[in-house]
A and B are shown apart, each in its own frame.
Chain A
Amino acid sequence: MSAAPRKEVVHTRIWQEEAEPDNPFATRVARCHGYDVYGDMLGKAGWIEMLYLLFRGERPSAQQAALLEALAVALANPGPRDPMVHAAMCGGVAGSTAAASLMAALAVGAGQNGGAREVWLAMQAWESCGTDLALWHGYLSRPPQPGVDIWPEMAHPAGFAPHGVQATLPVRQLLAHLARHAPELAWLQQQRIALEADAGLPMGMLLPVAATLHVLGFTAEQGEMLVLLLRLPGAAVHALEQWRYGFKRFPFFPVELTDDPAGKVSA
């Protein structure tokens, strides 16, 4: 006698569904971590509360929601010079699909230089060093390097700006705002100069971001995902805008070909 075929199911602690009585493939009630999304949360819960609930499994306190909301505002648009938004505009300007523009943004915005992987690395540093300046000194003097991996070697300490001169005004403004929310974030603001001296680089936007996500209780993996999500709005609107401007008004740049069989230096 053969065994009954295994029932293929999706295991989840996040989402529960009840079917409509006349259709097992249609949802009648959807619950997120126990809360009825359409029957109870709608109209009561905000987007940031929903986001926090999805990732953490509990609704945020008012303070936590305010902190995540501030972070979402800070991350919403890195601006058209940012490589992630630049990539999205390369999709938008030529009429690529909306998802292609966002996938382009995600691919570039995932990176270790100014991207979500840098946040992942910086959050790991926070988990290791916390608010202990001596630990940070050790970490920044010898940042850990992964072995063979699909991620390249890290070329600068996570959370610091490799081409910066000093912490920019938006970084300092973000730090000043965040410092009012949690003692760890106040510590980060107070120790900025000391940390920059150890890193040999000015602090970038992503160290305060990583610290905030850590304070909010997110894991490094959750923080990486959240940063990818929260920076998409800017990528989307700049991609849409470039389509309206048209490709003739989008930078194409002259080329300097160093290995040209025709012997030309530039075109």
Chain B
Amino acid sequence: MSGYRLLAEAHGRLRTRVGAAFPGTRAVFRGQDLHAELGDLDYLDLYHYGITGRRLSAAQLRLLHAIWVNTSYPDARLWNNRVAALAASARSPVSLGMTAAMAVSDAMVYGGQPGLWAMAFFKRMLAAVDAGASLADCVLAEARDHTVYGYGRPINSTDERIPWVMAKARQLGLDQGRHILIAFEIERILLTYRPQLKMNYAALHAAFAADMGLSVPEYHVLRMPVFMAGIVPCYVEASEAVEGTLLPLKCDDICYEGREKRTWVAE
């Protein structure tokens, strides 16, 4: 039995190395004075620093901005965006709508999870290649066994965001990282297996994040607010419309496929 020794040691105070607020005087952020040393930082720079304790180069930061800007789609039909818009239409506060929408974005079909799996996949493939394996053999073996995340996309397999971000990456000299190169090499291999398995944005984002030195858990934290700029216009527009008018459903829009009518007999 391990017992409660660890709880007793942690009891009664917050022991931390990431920072603290000293009201009326100063604040410390990962070992630096927030106001004196970090006060002029770009917000995304600070956000990344808070996660990793490392700083991105100016070029990496610009690329990260480009990745996030180019996936900010204010379309209230998208499931995560729709959550925020429905909250606005129901006249719920923005904090609830936005945080719920971001929580919903940690999904399996899109958003959080495919990106993590794609990054882990790239790291696994690079390790295999470094150990002397054939990339094609490894990729096709994975594709035969299970879904390869980061490739393929519902509705239209061509991801319109990728050329824009790759152009920015070339401009910034960041298009030759090991992870982004292997991501495209994997696409070439997968397309010989299934033509619809084009690289999607989750793979692109994960590959660049890996080239920026992020681990899989760090990337999971980093990407959390990635859709925020696209979600918030959906909230704003729905909040300005007449309440309750966002995507209303009629009673006969419910396609019931369950049990026939029956009576509840009191016991």
Q: Which of B17, B31, B251, B260 contacts A34 (CB 8 A)?
A: B260
User: Shortest 10 CB-CB distances between A and B: which pairs?
Assistant: A13-B258, A19-B251, A34-B259, A16-B256, A148-B120, A259-B31, A9-B255, A24-B250, A34-B262, A17-B251
Within 8 A of A (CB), among B162-210: none
Q: Are A253 and B13 neighbours in the complex by a CB distance under 8 Å?
A: yes
Total inter-chain residue pairs, C-beta < 8 Å:
152
Bound complex: CA A148 to CA B219 (Å): 12
Least CB distance from A220 to B in Å reads 16
Q: A147-B120, A259-B31 are in contact. Are A10 and B254 (CB under 8 A)?
A: yes
Return chain B residues, CB-CB under 8 Å to A97. Answer: 93, 95-96
Chain A to chain B contacts (Cβ below 8 Å), 10 pairs: A12-B254, A16-B258, A24-B251, A59-B264, A148-B117, A150-B116, A255-B16, A257-B19, A259-B17, A260-B20
Within 8 A of B (CB), among A58-117: 59, 62, 97, 99-100, 103, 107
A250 is an interface residue with CB less than 8 A from chain B? no
Q: Which of B93, B251, B258 contacts A14 (CB 8 A)?
A: B258
Bound complex: CA A164 to CA B262 (Å): 49
Size band of the B side of the interface? 35 or more
B99 is an interface residue with CB less than 8 A from chain A? yes
A198 is an interface residue with CB less than 8 A from chain B? no
B106 is an interface residue with CB less than 8 A from chain A? yes
Within 8 A of B (CB), among A238-262: 253-262
Beyond the given A10-B249, A258-B16, please list 12 additional residue pairs across the A-B interface where CB-CB is below 8 A: A12-B255, A16-B256, A17-B256, A19-B252, A36-B261, A97-B95, A97-B96, A148-B117, A150-B113, A165-B4, A260-B20, A260-B28
Total residues of chain A contacting the partner, CB 8 A: 60
Return chain A residues, CB-CB under 8 Å to B262. Answer: 34-35
Interface string of A19-52 (1 = CB under 8 A from B): 1000011111001011110001100110000000
Minimum CB distance partner of B220 in chain A = A150
Within 8 A of B (CB), among A170-200: 200
Least CB distance from A13 to B in Å reads 4
Bound complex: CA A260 to CA B13 (Å): 16
Q: Are A257 and B16 neighbours in the complex by a CB distance under 8 Å?
A: yes
Q: Which of A26, A200, A266 contacts B1 (CB 8 A)?
A: A200
B253 is an interface residue with CB less than 8 A from chain A? yes
A18 is an interface residue with CB less than 8 A from chain B? yes
Q: Which of A9, A100, A150 contacts B112 (CB 8 A)?
A: A150
Q: Which of B92, B261, B267 contacts A31 (CB 8 A)?
A: B261
Q: Are B267 and A163 neighbours in the complex by a CB distance under 8 Å?
A: no
B144 is an interface residue with CB less than 8 A from chain A? no
Bound complex: CA A162 to CA B93 (Å): 38
Q: Which of B1, B257, B267 contacts A202 (CB 8 A)?
A: B1
Q: Are A12 and B19 neighbours in the complex by a CB distance under 8 Å?
A: no
Least CB distance from A169 to B in Å reads 16
A132 is an interface residue with CB less than 8 A from chain B? no
Return chain B residues, CB-CB under 8 Å to A44. Answer: 264, 266
Q: Are B254 and A255 neighbours in the complex by a CB distance under 8 Å?
A: no
Q: Are A33 and B254 neighbours in the complex by a CB distance under 8 Å?
A: no
Least CB distance from B239 to A in Å reads 15
Q: A103-B99, A254-B13, A261-B32 are in contact. Are A19 and B259 (CB under 8 A)?
A: no
Q: A150-B112, A254-B13 are in contact. Are A57 and B259 (CB under 8 A)?
A: yes
